[in-house]
Amino acid sequence: MSHDQKFSSEKPIEQIWEILTPWHQAKSKAESSISEAVEKAATSGMLDIQNELEKCTEERNDVADVNQKLIKNHEMWREKVKEAKEREVASMKSMNEWVLDLEEHVLQLPSSILCIVWGNRRMSRKTVKKAKGPSTYEQCMLIR
């Protein structure tokens, strides 16, 4: 039997088509199902990656906000420390001036006492000249 005879005589084309059509449909359905499953998995994976990216972006933004607040807070405290140091320096200067002023008054105290006494005329010129310290009759007259 020749090839042409065998092919044409054994089964008519309609029978072959009837056999191949369900197989072809099953194959198409399987390919379609596989394609849908791959697309679904890819879409799901992409959504998971996108959600993770959004989460990371949100966390990064939160960290950036905290960092900005810390920087502002740091600058604020740096300024407060600077102001406190300036107040301390001014206070120390004022206290030093006050102490120097007190020392000056304490040094003038004997003269003031002698001037009070001299003003009351209870001391003579000799007593004023014999007194220890920087006081003199002339100083008493300048203080008045």
Instruction: Say if residue 89's pLDDT is above 90.
Output: yes
Integer CA distances (angstroms), 4 to 15, 18, 19, 128, in order: 17, 21, 20, 159
Q: What residue numbers bound the domain in which 111 lies?
A: 13-143
Residue 6 in any domain: the answer is no
Number of domains in the chain: 1
Give the amino acid at 111.
S
Q: Report phi then psi at 126, rounded to 5.
A: -60, -45
* Structure-token match 């072809």, residue found: 24
Residue 93 in any domain: the answer is yes
Considering the entire predicted model, what is its pTM? Answer: 0.43
Residue 1 in any domain: the answer is no
- How remote is the C-alpha of 140 from its chain's centroid? 65
- Each residue's pLDDT tens digit, 95-129: 999 999 988 888 887 777 777 766 655 444 445 44
Give the mean model confidence (pLDDT) for residues 42-59. Answer: 93
Which has more pLDDT, 44 or 71? Answer: 71
Report the SS3 class of residue 2. coil
Residue 78 in any domain: the answer is yes
Buried b (16+ CB within 10 A) or exposed e, 56-92: eeeeeeeeeeeeeeeeeeeeeeeeeeeeeeeeeeeee
Q: Report phi then psi at 120, rounded to 5.
A: -85, -5
Residue 51 in any domain: the answer is yes
pLDDT over 70 for what percent of the chain?
72
Looking at residue 22, what is its pLDDT?
Answer: 79
pLDDT over 90 for what percent of the chain?
38
Position 91 confidence tier, pLDDT thresholds 50, 70, 90? very high
Residue 7 in any domain: the answer is no
- Each residue's pLDDT tens digit, 29-48: 888 888 888 888 888 889 99
